[in-house]
Amino acid sequence: MSAALAVATGGIKEDLAERASAPEAVLELHESLGTVTLVVFVALLRLRHAMQWGRLKEIRSLSLGFGVTGIVILVLTG
């Protein structure tokens, strides 16, 4: 939910950053990493639900991998 809120408010902040003459490449990188972060965390959520509902056997390393990947991308996004 908070990731969706971040994406929604990102557009507003992008307009402000463009007016402040922020480099376009930095804005595009930030936006791309934000989208990737959202996708990773949605995939992690779906994986956890599939395991909880018994559709998929619990694989801790897979959950951990998705979680760590999401955190690393989130840190890079800044």
DSSP 53: T
Are 44 and 63 contacting, i.e. CB atoms less than 8 angstroms apart? yes
CA-CA distance, 8 to 38, in Å (whole number)?
12
pTM over 0.85: no
> Does an H or E element contain 11, and which?
helix 2-19
First to last CA, the chain: 19
pLDDT tens figures, 56-78? 787 788 878 877 887 888 787 76
* Amino acid occupying residue 33: L
Domain ranges of the chain: 2-77
pLDDT 10s per residue in the chain (78 long)?
Answer: 666 677 777 777 777 777 777 788 877 888 888 788 888 888 888 888 888 888 878 778 887 887 788 788 878 776
